[in-house]
Amino acid sequence: MYVSIIGGDSGSSSPEDRQKAEKVGEKIAESGHVLICGGRGGVMKAACRGAKKEDGTTIGILPSSDKREGNEYIDHPIATGIGLLRNGLVVMNGDVVVAIDGGYGTLSEICLANKYGKEILGLDTWDIDAVTIFVDVGSLMERLEEIEGRF
């Protein structure tokens, strides 16, 4: 299963949210899933770091045309050259979307994921109808494993 991670960047995510993202990344890799994200810093980098701790596979869909823009934990950088429009590609390619923290960019990804009919799981993120909010990584991962049976 492909899991898209969306959330705050380096300038907006808290150390606590990055720690949660790293744990989610670890658990995604332990479960044998592929992690997809925007490939840059903050929650994205933390989740990728966690996935790599468990030898997971990471894909970064980058806003620029430079593959080197991706964080050091990305296995497969995909340069798009389309800026923030790449948000649609990040969420479209996941079988499920996990939102951790995040500002308006994350909100745009949540809206797109909802439009694409994706299930959206959240930790410390936008508390809106489209998102199922979890209070901890363990309960989020339980739901993720329930979803896995559909793919």
Number of domains, the chain: 1
* Predicted confidence (pLDDT) per residue in 87-106, tens digit: 999 999 999 999 999 999 99
**Tens-digit pLDDT profile for residues 122-134:** 999 999 999 999 9
**The domain spanning residue 8 has which CATH number?**
3.40.50.450
Split at pLDDT 50, 70, 90, the class of 12 is confident
Domain range for 136 is 2-148
Distance CA 67, CA 98 (A): 24
Question: pLDDT value at position 128?
Answer: 96
**Residues with Cβ within 8 Å of residue 139, at least 6 apart in sequence:** none
8 Å CB contact between 74 and 34: no
Angle at the Cα of 29 from the Cα atoms of 27 and 31, rounded to 5 degrees: 70
